[in-house]
Copies of this chain bind each other. A is one copy, B any other.
Amino acid sequence: MISIQKDDIDIGALIQQSRNTHMGAQVVFVGTVRDDGIEAIEFEADRTTAIADLTTIAAEATEKHGLISVDIIHRDGLLQTGETILVIIAGSAHREEGFAGCRYIIEEIKRYVPIWKKDITASGDSRWHD
Contacts and interface: CB of A to CB of B under 8 A. Distances in A.
B12 A82 contact: no
Interface of A: 10-13, 15, 19-35, 81-82, 93, 95, 98-99, 102-103, 106
Given A23-B34, A32-B23, A103-B99, A13 B12 contact: yes
Nearest 7 pairs of A and B residues by beta carbon: A12-B12, A24-B34, A28-B28, A21-B35, A26-B30, A21-B81, A21-B82
Given A11-B15, A20-B82, 6 more contacts: A24-B33, A25-B32, A26-B30, A28-B30, A29-B99, A99-B102
A37 B61 CA distance: 27
Report the copy number of this chain in the oligomer. Answer: 2
Given A27-B28, A27-B29, A29-B27, A22 B34 contact: yes
Contact of A26 (B10, B26, B32, B102): B32
